Chain A
Amino acid sequence: MSLYSIPMFRIFYFKGKSLMSLTTFLQQCLTGISLGGAYALIAIGYTMVYGILRLINFAHGDIFMMAGYFMIFAMASLPWFIALPVVLIVTTALGVGIERVAYKPLRSAPRMSVMISAIGVSYLLQNLATYLFTALPMGYPEVPGLKKVYQLGGLSASFVTFLTPVLTLILVYLLITLIQHTKMGMAMRAVSKDYETASLMGIDINRTISITFAIGSILAAVGSILYFTDRMTVFPFSGSLPGMKCFVAAVFGGIGSIPGAVVGGFLIGMGETALVAAGYSTFSDAFTFVILIVILLVRPTGLFGEKTTNKV
């Protein structure tokens, strides 16, 4: 098999002619990794909430979108180093608030009801944003330094492109440490397995669920800052497509698994960028959903999915 028959290398050689230099290829990889990092941060929110509530939180993409608006308004009146924590706090409050109002009262209801409630919240947030901020895209403010272009060898990219994957990996490392090695993480793992037994251990179920939503929302807010700094504008539906893609990333990696969501996020981000680079940008969104269909057909539990059989 020649290299030519592998699609990735066809970018380099087409009919024997080089189409893309190595530098361009690495440049695209960097873009893909960076996009993937932002996706990974959002996908973690889906996977964590699924892990603990068995709920696909359809409102998560819209929380991400709202975080974009919060940043616009925070930066309009505050210096950036105050605006950033304010955005994180307000987004967290929104995520936890949604859980309290829309999901908590349905704790003992069938799962389908909670999911419908989540879809309702998603539409509510989109329409609320349209009503409050109009459907016109608003310019995303720039945190000083993030857009500054750096050269690394032949590669040139803005600081945010380099920062995103690094920050993502640091946050994921912290999160996994939290879950594996702290009491709070132990409580989260216990609640995600068995509410009743967890409460028999003295674990406050509602508090643990709130913490899970808080963590998911903080990561979505960080993801939103990184993503929108690159995209420059926010509009009321800018959360819906990335939200769906990150959901696919979570399913791809195996919903419920945090490393799975991260790997899924990076793979989807890189795959999309590769398609754009290869000139098929019209198909880049479709690509994500083809992956969803294929993974559901071939390996429904995803790459790192939960084993469903346990000896009990």
Chain B
Amino acid sequence: MLKVDDLKIHYGGIEAVKGISFDVPDHSIVTLIGANGAGKSSTLRTIAGLVKASSGTISLDGEDITNMPSAKRVGKGIVLCPEGRRVFPDMTVLENIKIGAYLRNDDLTDDIENIYNLFPRLKERNWQLAGTLSGGEQQMLAVARSLMSNPEIMMLDEPSLGLAPIVVQEIFSIIKKINKERGTTILLIEQNANMALKVADKAYVMETGRITLSGTGAELLANDDIKAAYLGKKK
């Protein structure tokens, strides 16, 4: 279980995250939703080790990982699929998939086969440079790459960003499938609150660096304030 306790994050003098606590139980899908600048991305980047926490602790299965370098966290089973996909454009699709397994030294053949079953589109484009893929394909590649480290927890930063609604649906159904079939814990942040809340077991709402509301996905979907603020429906 991933546990975040009283986490604060500063950028210079600005406090982006003002002491949040939440946990992500094993095998669940948890989502953080909120507007731009609420501190969602900062939280995820801190859990991944890209940003330093100014105070508070992050622990995984009881082990404190607050100050662990980001590369080591991958070995511990936490992987972040970054915002904007960030595939390596000059590498082929296959190389991008392989680099996700950088820390593993075992045979990858079966895993690559599994990945291709999950994303048949990537198999067709095996030898293509990742930079030439469409946005949706790049997002699939980014998810595939993250999966190759066999993570315990996969964090996804805005997987729907800039994608057509039908592609967003496809990505979310794959995320659900990964959670169900592999038992991978998912920590998801989204501006597309509707999509995120539908798949989430547990959801937290962030506003200007604080968690203001939490509940199951279904509870929040039914909540009038949430409807008004994030789902575009009148009270």
Contacts and interface: CB of A to CB of B under 8 A. Distances in A.
B128 to A, nearest CB: 12
> Which size bracket describes the interface of A in this complex?
10 to 19
Interface stretch (B20-28, B93-101, B117-125, B194-202): B93-101
Nearest to B89: A310
B88 A196 contact: no
Interface in B60-77: 69-72, 74-75
Contacts of A205: 71
Contact of B99 (A201, A204, A312): A201
A311 B86 CA distance: 11
A310 B131 contact: yes
Contacts of B79: 200
B50 interface: yes
B131 A201 contact: no
B131 A186 contact: no
A183 B70 contact: no
Contacts of A196: 50, 82, 86
B88 A200 contact: no
Nearest to B78: A200
SS class of chain A's interface: helix, strand, loop or mixed?
helix
Nearest to B70: A199
B131 A204 contact: no
A205 to B, nearest CB: 7
B140 interface: no
Interface in B116-140: 131-132
Given A186-B99, A201-B102, A312-B131, A193 B50 contact: no
B132 A197 contact: no
B90 A203 contact: no
Interface in B35-77: 48-50, 69-72, 74-75
Contacts of B132: 311
A116 B217 CA distance: 54
A199 B71 CA distance: 5
A311 B69 CA distance: 30
Given A196-B82, A200-B79, A203-B102, A189 B90 contact: yes
A190 interface: yes
A312 B86 CA distance: 8
Contact of A197 (B49, B88, B103): B88
B89 A311 contact: yes
B210 interface: no
A187 B102 contact: yes
B126 to A, nearest CB: 16
Nearest to B48: A200
B110 to A, nearest CB: 19
A196 B79 CA distance: 12
A106 B131 CA distance: 30
Interface string B141-173: 000010001000000000000000000000000
B88 A194 contact: yes
Interface string A125-158: 0000000000000000000000000000000000
A204 B70 CA distance: 9
A202 interface: yes
Contact of A202 (B50, B74, B89, B95): B74
Interface string A108-123: 0000000000000000
B178 interface: no
Interface in B196-216: none
Which of the listed residues B80, B91, B102 has the most CB atoms from chain A within 10 Å of its own CB?
B102
A199 B70 CA distance: 6
Contacts of A201: 71, 74, 99-100, 102-103, 145, 149
B50 A190 contact: no
A242 to B, nearest CB: 31
A310 to B, nearest CB: 5
30 contacts: A183-B102, A186-B95, A189-B88, A189-B90, A193-B88, A194-B86, A196-B50, A196-B82, A196-B86, A199-B49, A199-B69, A199-B70, A200-B48, A200-B50, A200-B80, A200-B82, A201-B99, A201-B103, A202-B72, A202-B102, A202-B149, A203-B71, A204-B69, A310-B89, A310-B131, A311-B131, A311-B132, A312-B85, A312-B86, A312-B131
Interface of A: 183, 186-187, 189-190, 193-194, 196-197, 199-205, 310-312
Interface of B: 48-50, 69-72, 74-75, 79-80, 82, 84-86, 88-91, 95, 98-100, 102-103, 131-132, 145, 149
